[in-house]
Structure 1
């Protein structure tokens, strides 16, 4: 990729665009030897955008202000017409009503290439993808999975909150959530709390944090009736999935965070990066993709479709849970939870 000084570009946009159109090669614009932006064929940018929008995570798209000016309206440049975007740095070049080249900042282009590279790694041609889907549909969940708990969870049993955290040990997470350190050190088990409640007339069973590790994830289960436990970690974990059941209001919601960044279930438009929209599981309809292709959570659509094809569950929320199993490898120890042979701790503040 050749470099061209900014002063030369400003004086001869048409020549530079013609060169990119003819050769199909990028040209880097430098200011005092420092790369600032890249002029590239429109077709190449379209391909990058196509794949980049299908990758999730990666932060917000960089925007730059190059100081090249913001002429209003079409700006003739020889046989081309230049359209300057509102940020003053991005430009589109058109010839005979056909887009031929685009100018993007170095930072934005690197961001696009990184996301596109991530999406391409999982890309398959349609026939290969269909065959792979069929293969995945025949695979069972990891361990016990999580779909088995969906029915009782809807009735707020045994927990109203299910949290899955990647990259942090279970005991550390329990302590950070405000669990009693002595209960953790003693290895308190859920059935012991239940037996003590029955023996002493206490009501600790609904006020404990149950925790463990399955398939590389720390999981937590608890009731959030009196906000006795924390809802966040500092610093935020690599990944965090939260499922909350509020039976009285028929609200069952799902959220997913990467490095503390909330992955919005709906497309994010420019200037709306902070928008947070809750996703309620009752909105999920089998056979329909719940997330738009440009939404951060669109990668879940494939896993939900595979869960539907597998035919293991008919309940919509159980199907959604199975989709999460397949997407993230989530699992909960069924026998340990139902028998009470799973670790737990009371809130430190209530001891």
Structure 2
């Protein structure tokens, strides 16, 4: 059946008649005008708009990254409309701030509409791969511990991860412009703090901006830094066989925290061609396009929200990166200052 606005409204009325949780007014606004959101963005704020195309495709458009889903299946279009209606209902009735704790409430309400929809919601959406298993570990013993220090730019503002065939953290550091002598003798972060004259984090000192740390965690090599001094010459291709990279950047003064992911030399960003703001993530709301390149993170985030509602949004994001991509860091090495570190080499010219 070709979906039209009339078909969508009629189907929603039938759904609302079967479910005491919904009513006709809870259907998000619909339109056939493709540019409607851009022309009424202030009026819509961040509400979901359902755009019905001539070929029967229903596209969900909101204020995050534009199109949040696209489907020609009426049942799935109704699911996304109901998910938004339930989110709005729960947020209006909640006495406290929004948070991951409301996700479980929304899942139960989606069960009341349709048990299959409750399951889709818990999995982060319909038509996904095999769901992630529930997490039974302490997330703060995993990658999530690093989210708090990173927000405060400690120990560094730029967290860069690389993986690929034969990747080696020390050789990677040298290719990026590390001081060869310091790398060769295995300088540690604690020693580097002494050199910069600070016992806390290297970024407290002006010289700290010319230092970095590096190491290996699982199949990922990492290099953390603040900046590369202009007199160094880092290799533009840090590893010839690098197949995947993740970059997390923090700017505490401007409250800008970004995430960028590359695979096989191209960005994984749903075609947005931009670093993605971690601060745009709100627990319970899909951050990326359903069925898009980053949908795996939507699903990992939903699993994290249900398993660990006590975590903050950045901690949930880091935990989702661990669950989906395997990112991790040796917490004790950072706390005790035993992680490898060095200064950038100076170019004699």
Please classify the TM superposition score into its range, dividing by the shorter chain length.
Answer: 0.5 to 0.7
Q: Distance in 1 between matches of 2:239 and 2:215?
A: 20
Distance 1:298-1:134 versus aligned 2 partners, 3 A rule: closer
Total equivalences in the alignment: 218
Tell me the CA shift for residue 350 of structure 1. Answer: 6.3
Flag structure 2 segments of 5+ consecutive residues without an equivalent.
Answer: 1-115, 124-129, 199-204
Quote the residue 2:219 is aligned against: 216
Within the candidate set 240, 245, 253, 1:235 is matched to 240
The alpha-carbon deviation at position 312 of structure 1 amounts to 6.0
> 1:254 is matched with which residue?
259
Cα distance in 2 for residues equivalent to 1:252 and 1:304 = 17
Higher relative contact order (CA 8 A, sep 6+): 2
Match of 2:134 in 1: 136
* Match in the other structure for 1:75: none
Q: Secondary structure at the match of 1:331?
A: coil
The 3-state SS of whatever aligns with 1:299 is helix
C-alpha distance in 2 between matches for 1:181 and 1:253: 30
Q: Matches of 2:121 and 2:283 in 1, distance apart?
A: 20
Q: How many angstroms apart in 1 are the aligned matches of 2:334 and 2:163? A: 20
CA contact (8 A) 1:236 1:259 kept: no
| TM-score of the aligned structures, taking structure 2 as reference length | 0.56
- Find the structure with the greater CA-based Rg: 1
1:347 shift after superposition: 0.5
Change (3 A) 1:232 1:289: farther
- After superposition, give the CA deviation of every residue in 1:241-270 in whole Å (9 maximum; x if it has no partner): 000001122110001101211111x3x4xx
Distance, in Å, in 2 between the alignment partners of 1:232 and 1:244 is: 19
Structure 1 residues not aligned, in runs of 5+: 1-124, 269-274
2:319 paired residue number = 322
Shift of 1:149: 1.3
Higher helix share: 2
User: Do structure 1's residue 332 and structure 2's residue 329 form an aligned pair?
Assistant: yes
SS of 1:137's equivalent in the other structure is coil
- 1:170–1:218 contact (8 Å) kept in structure 2: yes
Q: Where do residues 268-279 of structure 1 align in structure 2 (5 Å cutoff)?
A: 268=271, 276-279=273-276
| Aligned structure 1 segments of 4 or more residues deviating by more than 3 angstroms | 125-135, 202-206, 225-232
SS at match of 1:238: strand
Corresponding residue number in structure 1 for 2:298 = 301
1:144 offset after TM fit, Å? 3.8
In 2, the alpha carbon distance for the partners of 1:292 and 1:186 equals 47
Q: 1:130 to 1:283 in 2, by over 3 A?
A: closer
| Alpha-carbon distance in 1 for matches of 2:342, 2:195 | 13
**Displacement after TM superposition at 1:335 (Å):** 1.2
Distance 2:143 2:233 in 1: 22
SS of the residue corresponding to residue 292 of structure 1 reads coil
